[in-house]
């Protein structure tokens, strides 16, 4: 049994450490270059686990990146350079895929006027006009001018939003 109990994923989550995943990754890299020796993959995985146990105290969990770096190191030190190259290339490909996926999800829509929406929300918030009911209550209390339109809660709040947009631009 391994002394390492957990691994820290890229998203920061702490998950149970599974040495079998290391041997599977090594075996898949070996298969990619024509190898088929599961036993060698398991022996190399044990070396990776030993290396991690020596280099990480029980109170500090290795990250997924740390484990992958250790796999590369052990593969190269044991003369499995072709397998190490396949493993490194696969890692690089996955990193590029994660990066492109991240770039795609962060882009805000160009069709939404975010600045105007923020301006309107800021204006309404500073005047305590968060709902149609609150807006109408302020009118009933005489806190708004007589030129201020009243809105029915039965109608959609589209009219209120339009009025707020006009008021915010004044």
Model confidence over 114-166: pLDDT tens digits?
A: 777 778 778 777 777 777 788 778 778 877 665 555 555 555 456 666 666 66
Q: CB–CB of 45/27 below 8 Å? A: no
Integer-rounded Cα Rg, in Å, for the chain is 30
CA torsion sign for 111, 114, 116, 121 is positive
Q: CB–CB of 59/3 below 8 Å? A: no
pTM of the full structure: 0.61
pLDDT at res. 112: 74
pLDDT at res. 105: 63
pLDDT above 90 (res 77): yes
Distance CA 118, CA 124 (A): 10
Q: CB–CB of 86/29 below 8 Å? A: yes
41, containing H or E segment? helix 38-55
Per residue, the 3-state secondary structure of 113-169, as one string, reads CHHHHHHHHHHHHHCCCCCHHHHHHHHHCCCCCCCCCCCCCCCCCHHHHHHHHHHHH
Residues 6+ apart with CB under 8 A from 160: 132, 135, 151
pLDDT at res. 140: 81
């Amino acid at each position: 049994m391994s002394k390492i109990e957990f691994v820290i994923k890229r998203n920061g989550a702490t998950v149970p450490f599974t040495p079998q995943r290391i041997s599977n990754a090594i075996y898949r890299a070996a298969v990619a270059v024509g190898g088929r020796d599961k036993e060698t993959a398991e022996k190399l995985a044990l070396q990776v686990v030993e290396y991690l146990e020596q280099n990480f105290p029980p109170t500090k969990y290795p990250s997924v990146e740390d484990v992958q770096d250790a796999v590369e190191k052990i593969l190269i030190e044991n003369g499995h350079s072709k397998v190490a190259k396949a493993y490194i290339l696969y890692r690089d490909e996955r990193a590029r895929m994660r990066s492109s996926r991240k770039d795609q999800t962060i882009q805000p829509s160009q069709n939404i006027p975010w600045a105007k929406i923020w301006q309107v929300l800021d204006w309404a918030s500073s005047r305590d006009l968060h709902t149609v009911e609150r807006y109408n209550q302020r009118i009933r209390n005489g806190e708004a001018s007589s030129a201020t339109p009243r809105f029915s809660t039965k109608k959609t709040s589209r009219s209120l939003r339009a009025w707020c947009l006009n008021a915010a631009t004044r």
